[in-house]
Structure 1
Amino acid sequence: MSLYGSRVSVSDLNEIDDNNLVKLAANGDQQAFCELMNRHMDRVYNIAFRMTRSSSDADEVVQQTFIALLKKLKQFKGESQFTTWLTRVVINYCLNFIKKRNRQETPIGAGTPDEDSWEEAGEPEDLLPWQQNPEQKLQRKQLHELLTKALDRLDDKYRPVILLRDVEGHSTAETAESLGITESNVKIRLMRGRTLLRAELGQLMAENELSV
């Protein structure tokens, strides 16, 4: 089956991988683009919702992301997985959206030193992951609510790293590629983000009179 010699049927699209679908969509095949949307809509929405913490804002980010993809598809060179490239696009739109959204509270971690100024940062694995403390001592529902609030207050510099590494389960290399930063910076932001998140979680627990 030729990808470019004739129009591809809808049933055939299901058998085509993402990279070849991108090539078809970039050349004006609307059905190929719709197939890409169908495959990745849930993933894009989940990332957008976790970043913006608002269903309406997430819907807007999803719309902006897929509109942008129509213009950006020819920029995709196939040097990485399409999902990695798409993740970077949606996170960038999330960050831009959040910056435009008026905030009443200063995000946790705003104004902290850049990664390059931190020496002897160590490995983030040297710290207990934020899920482990105090997750085991709180009911699941209570912990989920507090973690959601704490993550929402985290600065945009750290939230994407926490989201990709600890929530989505991406590797350090995958996270670095998705965010366009070095693996070293991923490790440092992850360590700093977990530390800030634990501190905020402790404060929220105190405010809600919860003990550990």
Structure 2
Amino acid sequence: MDSTELVRVAKQGDDEAFFQLVSCHKEKLYRIALGYLKNEEDALEAVHEATCRAYTKLHKLRKPQFFGTWIVRILMNYCLNELRRRRRQTSIVHEPIGSGQVVDSSRIVIETAIDKLEPRYQQIIFLKYYEDYTIREIAEVLGRKDSTVKTWLYRALKGLRSHLRMEEEDR
């Protein structure tokens, strides 16, 4: 059964079909959540929450062929809201990806520069270079035109270069 048919069956109340749909996307969802939240436990919580939200709102999905981009968007919105909530509670302290994992110092510099970008530019960089999404796929996830995504990507890279130059001058 293809994913479009699984969505139709899941909309009719088949929990097993919904489970199969989510299982197809679970690794991608986890990687995205980990990229945003930088913590394994928080990433798992985000995937769980996004899955619950998708389950309760499945009846609102208009085009079954877009289930993958729809659930990714739900996850990204949850992650962004979680990051905003954290910022309100405490100041952000950059944590390396994964607990106990050795991280290359250049990667820390790049991630710090990405953190300084506007959230929409962070999304574009993350989806394009960490998740290997195409411009068209990013446009679908964000609900924007391809040309808008290209412009945002250009601006994001320009801002990233600027932040990296400033970092290098400070050394």
The equivalent of 1:48 in structure 2 is: 33
**Counterpart check, 1:92 vs 2:77:** yes
Give distance in 2, aligned partners of 1:80 and 1:153.
35
Deviations 1:98-143 (A, max 9, x none): 22222536xxxxxxxxxxxxxxxxxxxxxxxxxxxxxxxxxx9333
Aligned ranges for residues 191-210 of structure 1 at < 5 Å? 191-207=154-170, 209=171
Amino acid at match of 2:132: G
Pick from 166, 176, 186: which aligns with 2:129? 166
Partner of 2:15: 30
Is 2:105 the partner of 1:142?
Answer: yes
Partner of 2:54: 69
Q: More helix by proportion, 1 or 2? A: 2
Code of the aligned partner of 1:179? L
Aligned length, in residue pairs: 159
Distance change (3 Å), C-alpha of 1:52 and 1:153 = farther
Preserved CA contact (<8 Å) 1:45 1:62: yes
Match of 1:176 in 2: 139
Deviations 1:30-89 (A, max 9, x none): 211222222211111111111222323222211210000111212223364322222222
Contact 2:7 2:64 in 1 (8 A): no
Structure 2 portions without partners, runs of 5+: 93-102
C-alpha contact 2:51 2:71 (8 A) present in aligned 1: no
Q: Which residue identity is paired with 2:105?
A: Q
Q: In structure 1, what residue type is equivalent to 2:73?
A: R
**Unmatched runs of 5 consecutive residues or more in structure 1:** 1-15, 106-139
Structure 1 residue 21 displacement after superposition: 1.4
Q: Secondary structure at the match of 2:16?
A: helix
Normalised by the length of structure 1, the TM-score is 0.66
Corresponding residue to 2:91 among 104, 107, 111? 104
| Paired position in structure 2 for 1:17 | 2
Contact 1:146 1:205 in 2 (8 A): no
TM-score, length of structure 2 as denominator length: 0.80
Q: Which amino acid aligns with 1:149?
A: T
1:192 CA displacement: 1.3
Query: Which letter maps to 2:51?
Result: F
How far, CA to CA, are the matches of 2:117 and 2:45 in structure 1? 21
Give the letter aligned to residue 156 of structure 2: G
Q: Give the Cα–Cα distance (whole angstroms) in 2 for the partners of residues 22 and 70 of structure 1.
A: 11
Q: Once the 2 structures are TM-superposed, how far is the Cα of residue 24 of structure 1 from its aligned partner?
A: 1.8
Following superposition, the deviation at residue 23 of structure 1 comes to 1.7
Match of 2:63, SS state, is coil
Secondary structure of the 1:170 match is: coil
Q: Distance in 1 between matches of 2:4 and 2:64?
A: 10
Matched with 2:97 is none
Q: CA RMSD in A?
A: 2.2
